Amino acid sequence: ARTSANYLLRIINDLLDISKLEAGKMTISPEQTKVAEIFEEVHSTMTDLASSKGIELLKEIKPGANDVYADPVKLGQILVNLVGNAIKFTEQGGVTFRVSPDTDNDNTLHFEVQDTGIGIPESSQALIFESFRQADGSHTRKHGGTGLGLAISKELVELHGGEIGLKSVEGVGTTFYFKLLRSEPS
């Protein structure tokens, strides 16, 4: 009963979030945030799910990627959505989420969630961030989900002034990445 209630609560919260985002009513409260604290929360939240599937969950914080200018709750939500999807679609191997200084911009951090899962067909990659959209309906039946997590993550990253994307090879895995500012824009 508890598992079912939590699942329904997540669906309701996703529906509320996507409604707020689409109505332009979602707000964020960015502040200087310790990346290690967010990563630890996400890791402890998602470890049981990864363990139940027999896959490894790793977190990596590269030198110089200590602080980010972000809403800590929304950053955690983005990472939980991306890590949760990665775990859901990975049957063996593992999932790694990491952050590093961006090589193109000194005031930007580069976040990645990389899995060894089923991958996303190239024909579906352009649509994957749309609400209620999933790459393959047969995977939806097998793995569950509403198709809202990636749409919400994209909108939240963009509310932060960042950008999100992915690289994927079917049968090899997927890497979702996004960039956020290290410090408040001047």
pTM for the predicted model, two decimal places: 0.85
Does the pLDDT of residue 130 top 90, yes or no? Answer: no
Q: Residue 106 has which token pair? A: 């000194």
In whole numbers, what is the pLDDT of the chain averaged over residues?
85
What CA–CA distances, in Å, run from 139 to 32, 49, 91, 147, 166?
38, 18, 12, 11, 19
CA 151 to chain centre: 10
- pLDDT tens-digit map of 40-64: 999 999 999 999 999 999 999 999 9
Helix locations, the chain, DSSP H:
2-23, 35-52, 72-88, 122-125, 137-143, 149-159
The alpha carbon of 107 is separated from its chain's Cα centroid by a whole number of angstroms, namely 21
- Is the pLDDT reported for residue 123 higher than 90? no
